[in-house]
Homo-oligomer: A and B are copies of this chain.
């Protein structure tokens, strides 16, 4: 029996989107692919309301985290670490031989703009990395305020991981001044994993031109040049996943972005209310994620047992991430899931736990 996924990625993918992958292949140097890919890019720009350069890379979001570092940082980068993915970005920067400094707060807390500004006043950084939606803790970073503050530091690029939020949580890429906004297909896009989307500002592209060692596969400059010349990707893309992406962008347009954002807010509110009534929220108040709720296991339930029972009924949720494995559990409410599906999940959890 298939378990419907209420985990923070991969999320549930509708059958018609899965089926879109099964079309016969076309060559990635044929006109048919140019049409497919340029169509995808135009749809992404329209839905996300951005004029920045948009690219789709065959890889997970982590590859774009690494690419953001290799393209935009010669030497000094400041990494905001408030959970596992912020920490991953910090470690990636080190593994790319960059000088990375970290701002660290306890898991569950949000990093505020003034904490970043204090660091920027003391040292010049080429870029700041922020995980806008920390999947491990269910914390939403105040990216709007961080972006506003960073306007006073025009030479510092803002690199933002929106892997588990973009297309579900409303983020104004332009207004926030995000230079590299990156995400993955298998989260709020409600697609299979394998594609990463990057939205890159002109300032980031200009910076990249002066950074050596940025490689080839995820070289923003090379990818943009190729796209400008040929409307294609410089390396072979995951064509069948592109079929699904194209299909899904049409479905998202049909729903309407505002409706999509509202649906996510309603699902988040429902799960948060339930969690507050029966457990407690792990996120600092006011910084709760719109796409994934991290719940403090105040009743000391055995999450593995709960998930096993849920599995028999056709549902899957997530245990806590890493060091929070026993201390929390997580319910994702993103992608194409509906409020009634969330209600059904919660009803089943209530039954199992006798709530």
Contacts and interface: CB of A to CB of B under 8 A. Distances in A.
Interface of A: 2-3, 5, 7, 9-13, 15, 18-19, 21-28, 30, 58-63, 65-66, 70, 88, 91-92, 95-97, 184, 186, 192-194, 212-217, 219, 235-241, 316, 318
Contact of A18 (B7, B22, B26, B212): B22
A187 B215 CA distance: 24
A59 B91 contact: no
Given A63-B59, A238-B192, A213 B96 contact: yes
A214 B95 contact: yes
Nearest to A9: B236
B22 A10 contact: no
Nearest to A233: B60
Determine chain A's interface SS by DSSP, over half rule.
Answer: loop
Nearest to A62: B235
**Identical copies of this chain, number:** 2
Given A59-B59, A63-B235, A186-B236, 8 more contacts: A13-B25, A15-B22, A21-B22, A59-B63, A60-B235, A62-B236, A88-B216, A240-B240
A236 B184 contact: yes
A211 B329 CA distance: 38
B238 A194 contact: yes
Contacts of A22: 15, 18-19, 21-22
Nearest to A214: B95
Q: Which of A9, A26, A192, A219 has the most CB of B within 10 A?
A: A192
A236 B24 contact: no
A237 B238 CA distance: 12
B24 A10 contact: no
29 contacts: A7-B27, A9-B236, A10-B25, A10-B26, A10-B27, A11-B25, A12-B25, A13-B24, A13-B25, A18-B240, A27-B316, A27-B318, A58-B194, A59-B59, A60-B217, A62-B216, A63-B217, A92-B215, A92-B216, A96-B215, A96-B216, A184-B236, A192-B238, A193-B236, A193-B238, A193-B240, A194-B238, A194-B241, A240-B241
Given A10-B239, A30-B316, A216 B66 contact: yes
Given A58-B59, A63-B59, A193 B10 contact: no
Contacts of A92: 215-216
Contacts of A213: 95-97, 213
A12 B25 CA distance: 7
A2 B10 CA distance: 31
Contacts of A237: 60, 193-194
A318 B5 CA distance: 42
Nearest to A70: B215
B194 A240 contact: yes
